[in-house]
Amino acid sequence: MSGRNTSPIFKPAYRQERDFNVKVLKSNIMVASIVSHIIRNTIGPYSVSKAILKKDGEVLITGDAFSILKTLKVEHPIAKILIGMAKAQDAIVGDGVATAVILAGELLKKAEILIDQGLLPSNILKGYDLALKRAVQRLEEIAIPINPDDEEILRRLACTALNTKVISSPETIEGLSSIALKLAKLACENGVETKLNLEDIKIVKKRGGFLGDSKVVDGYVIEDREIVHPDMPRRVENANIALVRSLELKEITGSWWEAAGKNMEIQIEELEAHEAFLEERRNLVKQMVSKLALHGVNVVLVNRGIDEITEHYLARAGILAVKRVFLQDMNRISRLTGAHIISDLMSDYLTADRLGQAKLVEEWRPSEKENYILITGCPGWGASSVIMRGGNQYALEEAERGLHDALQVVRNIREDPRIIPGGGASEMELSKCLKDYAQTFSGKEQLAILAYSEALRIVPQTLADNAGLDPLRALADLRMKHSEGMVWAGLNVNQGEVEDMEKVGILEPIKVKVHALNAATDVARIVLRIDEVIPSRGFKKEEEPKPETEKKAVDALKKVYELEL
């Protein structure tokens, strides 16, 4: 009959019974969409950067998604969840942050459409979980195992990770990739090139010069420190290293002090008494230096200062000394050389087994204003350092972030030596796979799997958008190639064409993509399970935003971010 209303496909029980909760869901999805939109144009080689003004007045210029997100001032819990996910993605795999956040936002937007059609969040989550499991399986099917020591493939992987950075000129990308590979090779533990600990790599940033002037050191670098006395050796081979918190005289016996305290003061009125005091002090310093020499120490690194008398006797003993070494450096040198940090030389803590060893300790002065202590040939854990050069602080900071991402790529490959195509090829193949997979279900989860399939296309679509290409045509070309069985067909945005990603060298570690898929789905799962906002004790009703104020804020956000909510 013409007068009857058409019923929806599914009974809208959720909207009828929990209308307020739908509003909560939509509000949360809106926040996730806004965060996703902020970093959407930071993906791909034609990404843009953000200039972020910090509290102290400094400006951060970066195109790194995680660096942008962690500086955002947010109060909404959903935004904090997304930033927490980005932090985990960066810490665990070091790349894929933008992909994970963008995909999470798109999954939630697709979920909102399904909710409007009458699906319950539980139906959507069931379909999303099925889609995630199948997507990971498909990634493992298309992944190619590689030799983790193949430097050419590692270089390509590093270049892919660096393409989204501000400093992504071809020369800079090649330079950073080369530095990353050298550092990774030197830092592998015990010379076994299967595991990479990024804590063993030290990055020193120095303004001046070009990136090509950077120096990679097979060992550890202490920056802005010099040998304390001109008569001390500048180079010590087969170094026996003592790490000492302080060379100050903690306990002085005799007629002057029965027990020296940190704030002890003495008054000497006679010249003879003063000379006697200095003589006793010199004897104690000689005793301390003799103890070092007796155990074969030829290098001593001190956390605190060294007075002139101690410097003099250390120089006479032929011991190289460096003062005011940061405790963080002391701890890392301890792990690398095997030395124990000794708190008090006047006690009997110094023994031969507490010393560290290195093949060479030397002072390096590339200019009058720069001083470094280089420790190379450490027998313990592998170590490497780089003194990175750049024209300004902004370029140095972005280069450091890029180097970190490149090193993470190398580490990921050593842990899981399998690669997948970049350029949106993986996402397009997963989208095709999930579309076919959805046809095997007849229930409501079929729609959720299809929604997951459609959400994955946001990655190649964004790549095309950021490169100034027609996203509809790019997606159509990709869809056609993948329907023909070209699994590795992706967008080469530099040429504006769909090509084989293996041939053009646009590659990614499978570990990064798998973690991004899991992270994005986890965020969608968390947000869709929040069905109500409950005020806690002490919550003040008057602090809630007025409806008209909230509406104005939402309208402004829609206008700024061009969201279709």
Query: What mean pLDDT is predicted for residues 403-414?
Result: 89
Fold designation for 220-376 = GroEL (3.50.7)
Domain ranges of the chain: 13-145+420-561, 220-376
Question: Lowest-confidence range among 4-8, 248-252, 347-351, 481-485?
Answer: 4-8
Q: 497-500 and 489-492: which strand pairing? A: antiparallel
Higher pLDDT, 277 or 496: 496
DSSP label at residue 127 = H
Q: What is the dihedral of CA 187, 188, 191, 192, to 10 degrees?
A: -170
Question: At residue 402, what is the residue type?
Answer: G
pLDDT at 253: 42
Task: Evaluate whether 403 touches 165 at the Cβ level (below 8 Å).
Answer: no
* pLDDT bracket for residue 224 (50, 70, 90): very high
Two tokens, residue 331: 């701890």
Whether pLDDT at 458 is above 60: yes
Specify the pLDDT at position 358.
93
In this prediction, residue 540 carries a pLDDT of: 56
Condensed to tens digits (0 to 9), the pLDDT of residues 292-340 reads 999 999 999 999 989 898 999 999 999 999 999 999 999 999 988 999 9
- Kind of pairing between the strands at 341-342 and 235-244: parallel
pLDDT at position 54 is 79
Round to whole Å and give the CA distance between 44 and 468. 11
The pLDDT tens digits for 275-293 are 776 777 788 889 889 999 9
* Domain 13-145+420-561 -> CATH class: mainly alpha
Structure tokens at 266: 């003495």
Q: Is residue 79's pLDDT more than 60?
A: yes
Mean pLDDT computed over 433-447: 94
Residue 537 has pLDDT above 80, yes or no: no
Please indicate whether residue 438 or residue 199 has the higher confidence score (pLDDT): 438
Task: Tell me the mean pLDDT in the region 97-109.
Answer: 96
- At 55, give phi and psi (nearest 5°): -60, -35
**Mean pLDDT across the chain:** 84
CA-closest candidate to residue 228, choices 301, 153, 131, 143 = 301
- Decide: 83 and 104 in contact? Cβ < 8 Å: no
**Which helix (H) or strand (E) covers residue 240, if one does?**
strand 235-244
Q: How far is Cα 61 from Cα 293, in angstroms, rounded to an integer?
A: 51
Largest CA distance in the chain: 121
pLDDT of residue 251: 41
